[in-house]
Amino acid sequence: MEQPIRKIIHIDMDAFFASVEQRDNPELRGKPVAVGGSKARGVVAAASYEARKYGVHSALASKIAAQRCPQLIFVKARFDVYSAVSRQIREIFYSYTDLVEPLSLDEAYLDVTENKIGMPSASIIAKEIKQRILKETGLTASAGVSFNKFLAKIASDMDKPNGFTLITPDKAEEVVAGLEIEKFHGIGKVTAAKMQSMGILTGADLRQRTEEELVRHFGKVGRYYFRVARAQDEREVQPHRIRKSIGSERTFDTDLTEEDDMLERLLHLSEEVAQDMARLQATAKTVTLKIKYFDFTLNTRSKTYLSEFSSADAIYTIARELLRLPQLPPYPVRLLGISVSSLTYQHDRLREGYQLTLEL
């Protein structure tokens, strides 16, 4: 029996962190905004579309961002707010299908081949989701609709912000053929540069290469490149993508030298990590403390327990111990980060019938 054509939606919030800040502070609307960092130092976590016109983007050094856009407004990140809005948005997704695969706080795949409202049109569902997100959160999202994940992701990027794009089976190969190679989902800057040096500039160029040749140059992932060049992607939407770690980190405007200042930052980081763990219904056994010194030297310290923990108090207690052992940071600290790993999720505990907790 022939399988029905899948109906996949990719929803991507528009400049999510920055848009939340502009929503909550009318004075920021229409202005170039960077979330995270400062004019002196740090890294941009997100940029508004007004800032992007100047070449400001996420992961850009704040100092460079300020040089590119002198009128750039830096605002402090509020991850608890972004997480809360993300939960609102996911509740909208789940009202249509349980096959939701979150990729981050601001984007997800949905398989609506069969859906809770019995709607045969994925396009109508996607447009309705966009309208509900705007009405319930005051934010815009872009949506891509197609018959596989690769094409849905490509589609959502084609008409941002507040866009909608449908790629139908009869147009798929044509769309992929005309796509610049650096716009392929799954092809990063380094790989794109290597492909360009080989004369592979577009999807049409990529399609001219054999699978054997792509595997020889790029390893196993070459098989993926061979398939997507032909608009083929059999990956299913996975509603329970397993995250191996959960973490949060901060770069400081001024290097930290006092233990009390470091402990204060660790407390906030612990609370953020615990909030994410609660949202994901996860517990952990390992805490890793990340320390970056003034000269960018990186040091990590980890500790693993036999029992599980999930509270901010437990995470902070362990992180505090790691900060002091084997010694307090001997040099000024530029960045601190906390991550937890060896994770167990609620659905695993229910299935296996156990629950061990450690509260310090």
**Residues with a known catalytic role:** 107
Tokens of 332: 């000024």
In angstroms, the CA 117 to CA 62 distance is: 45
Beta bridge partners of 348: none
- Tell whether 276 is in a known binding site: no
**How big is the chain, counted in residues?**
360
Count the alpha carbons within 13 Å of 169 in the hemisphere toward its beta carbon: 6
In angstroms, the CA 85 to CA 300 distance is: 32
Count the alpha carbons within 13 Å of 227 in the hemisphere toward its beta carbon: 15
The number of beta carbons lying within 10 Å of the beta carbon of residue 57 is: 14
What is the dihedral angle through the alpha carbons of 236, 115, 345, 149, rounded to the nearest 10 degrees?
A: 30
Q: Are the C-beta atoms of residues 184 and 203 closer than 8 Å to each other?
A: yes
Q: Are the C-beta atoms of residues 315 and 303 closer than 8 Å to each other?
A: no
Q: Are the C-beta atoms of residues 36 and 42 closer than 8 Å to each other?
A: yes
Residues 6+ apart with CB under 8 A from 260: none
- Tell whether 106 is in a known binding site: yes
Binding positions are 12, 106
Binding positions for Mg(2+) are 12, 106
